[in-house]
């Protein structure tokens, strides 16, 4: 149907524009409202940002697993949240006796490394096992099939761990040297959160170096471009895919320990929500794009932490933190409307189009 002028704007476009304008108006209105009341001090805003960054760092590390697997296999590994859970939960059974025997207080660094090693080893093995059992046999199946298997694998892992470890919650031990806070330039930062932010950044740098500078990284990029051509060039595609799952699993294992340091609580269902949030981060940043996943994770963490206070408080909404997830997912919808390929997704989308 041909129409002229303003009438060419169809209903869906008009709706999307109204939605964009509405959200921006609410955000601006709420922000002005909050800032003019002066309810929060500068330190409290800094606290919000730090809480968000430490939460975002964990999202980002998990998101790397989603984005790398998507980059290589074009599938969403929905069992990745459970890979994260498996490492964190298993390492609890090392952390608890170490803490009870006093070892963790006497040799905190060694103890932490030990716990980290167990978590990374478990997560990596689970990730590799899931690939071998649930995805490799279906590599040539239609695209929906591995997605369904992924959800199945996710449930299987959850309930396998529930059977192994029980359905209750467990409290991670406190680590003496990580108690308390540092004061940096007028703002205080909890030691655990400082460690989380720094380690997440270091892990992401290491991963980026692996992908960009090493031979394995080059092979991974080649497989993600074109599996057949890569195979013709003598790359063992299966081995590269397993490596990708292993690296993603290792990142999830690190994230699991960082999560345990901050939240100090594990149970068999703990992977679900961070998994969904990390998947959101990966989409936000542009799925398949590694720096995108990092940025998306950090962005989501900060928006979740600051958003309710900044946008909703000024609107006079009571109990804004109940709407935390609404803000996070509205942000996702907004990014998808404005940039369907995600924040950093453009280059990649162009390449693959």
Partner 1 sequence: MNRPRVWGTVVLALLVALTSYAAAAPVRLGPVTDPIGVVRVARGQPIIIAYWLVIAGPNASLGVDSRRGIELAIADKRTVAGHPIRLIGEDSGCNAEGGVTAATKIAANRQVVAAVGSSCSSEAVPGAPILWRAGIVTVSPSNTAPRLTAPDRGPTYDGYLRTAHNDQVQGRVAAHFAYHALSSRRAATIHDGSPYAEGLANVFADVYRRLGGTITAQEAISPGDTDMRPVLTRIATGRPDVIYYPIFVAEGGHITRQAKEVSGLERTRLMAADGTFSPDFLRAAGPAARGMFLSSPDLSEEALGPRYTEFLRKHQQRYGERPLSAFHAHAYDAAMMIFAAIERVARKDAAGNTYIGRRALRDALFATRNFRGITGNLTCNQFGDCADPKIAVYEVVSADPAQWSPGTDPRKVWPRR
Residues that bind partner 1 (CB under 8 A): 39-40, 43-44, 47-48, 51-52, 55, 162, 167-174, 181, 188, 190, 262-265, 267, 269-270, 272-274, 304-306, 308-309, 313, 318-322, 324-325
Closest CB to partner 1 among residues 10, 167: 167
Q: How far is the CB of 24 from partner 1 (least distance, A)?
A: 23
Closest CB to partner 1 among residues 99, 130: 99
Q: Residue 330 — φ and ψ, nearest 5°?
A: -65, -40
Q: How far is the CB of 49 from partner 1 (least distance, A)?
A: 10
Closest CB to partner 1 among residues 93, 321: 321
Closest CB to partner 1 among residues 51, 78: 51
Q: How far is the CB of 48 from partner 1 (least distance, A)?
A: 6
d(Cα 27, Cα 30) in Å, to the nearest integer?
5
Q: How far is the CB of 294 from partner 1 (least distance, A)?
A: 19
d(Cα 38, Cα 40) in Å, to the nearest integer?
5
323 DSSP 8-state letter: G
Catalogue the long-range contacts made by 98-106 (C-beta closer than 8 Å, 24 or more residues apart).
Answer: 98/173, 99/173, 99/174, 99/175, 100/173, 104/173, 104/175, 104/176, 105/176
Quick check: 278 and 59 in contact, CB under 8 A? yes
Q: How far is the CB of 201 from partner 1 (least distance, A)?
A: 19
Q: How far is the CB of 256 from partner 1 (least distance, A)?
A: 13
Closest CB to partner 1 among residues 101, 214: 101
d(Cα 81, Cα 158) in Å, to the nearest integer?
10
Which H/E stretch holds residue 86?
helix 80-100
d(Cα 321, Cα 248) in Å, to the nearest integer?
31
Partner residues linked to 187 by β-bridges: 184
The strand pair at 265-266 and 187-190 is best described as unpaired
Closest CB to partner 1 among residues 212, 273: 273
Closest CB to partner 1 among residues 74, 324: 324
Quick check: 314 and 30 in contact, CB under 8 A? yes
d(Cα 42, Cα 279) in Å, to the nearest integer?
32
Q: How far is the CB of 178 from partner 1 (least distance, A)?
A: 11
Q: How far is the CB of 291 from partner 1 (least distance, A)?
A: 24
Block residue for tokens 């939960």: 89
Strand stretches in 258-311, DSSP E: 265-266
Count of C-beta atoms within a 10 Å radius of residue 88: 31
Closest CB to partner 1 among residues 181, 225: 181
Q: How far is the CB of 287 from partner 1 (least distance, A)?
A: 24
CB-neighbour burial class of residue 60 (10 A; exposed 0-12, middle 13-18, buried 19+): buried
Tokens representing residue 63 in the block: 């998101």
Closest CB to partner 1 among residues 186, 350: 186
């Amino acid at each position: 149907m041909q129409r002229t002028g303003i009438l060419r704007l169809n209903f869906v476009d008009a709706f999307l524009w109204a939605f964009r304008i509405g959200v921006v108006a609410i955000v601006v209105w709420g922000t002005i409202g909050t800032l003019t009341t002066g309810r929060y001090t500068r330190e409290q805003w800094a606290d919000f940002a730090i809480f968000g960054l430490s939460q975002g760092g964990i999202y980002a590390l998990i998101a790397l697993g989603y984005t790398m697997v998507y980059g290589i296999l074009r599938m969403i590994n929905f069992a990745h949240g459970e890979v994260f859970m498996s490492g964190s939960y298993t390492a609890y059974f090392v952390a608890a006796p170490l803490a009870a025997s006093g070892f963790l207080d006497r040799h905190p660094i060694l103890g932490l490394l030990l716990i980290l090693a167990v978590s990374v080893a478990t997560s990596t093995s689970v990730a590799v096992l899931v690939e071998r059992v649930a995805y490799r046999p279906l590599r040539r199946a239609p695209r929906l099939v591995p997605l369904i298997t992924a959800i199945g694998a996710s449930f299987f892992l959850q309930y396998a761990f529930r059977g192994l470890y029980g359905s209750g919650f467990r409290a991670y031990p406190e680590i003496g040297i990580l108690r308390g806070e540092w004061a940096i330039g007028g703002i205080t930062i909890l030691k655990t959160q400082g460690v989380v932010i720094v380690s997440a950044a270091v892990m992401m740098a290491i991963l980026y170096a692996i992908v960009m500078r090493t031979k394995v990284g080059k092979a991974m990029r080649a497989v993600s471009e074109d599996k057949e051509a890569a195979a013709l060039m003598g790359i063992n595609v299966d081995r590269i895919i397993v490596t990708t799952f292993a690296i993603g699993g290792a990142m999830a294992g690190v994230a699991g320990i960082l999560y345990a340091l901050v939240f100090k609580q594990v149970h068999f269902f703990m992977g679900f929500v961070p998994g969904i949030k990390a998947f959101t981060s990966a989409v936000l940043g542009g799925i398949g794009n590694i720096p995108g996943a990092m940025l998306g994770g950090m962005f989501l963490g900060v928006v979740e932490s600051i958003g309710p206070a900044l946008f909703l408080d000024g609107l006079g909404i009571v109990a804004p933190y109940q709407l935390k997830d609404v803000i996070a997912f509205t942000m996702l919808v907004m990014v998808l409307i404005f940039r369907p390929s995600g924040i950093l997704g453009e280059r990649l989308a162009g390449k693959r189009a």
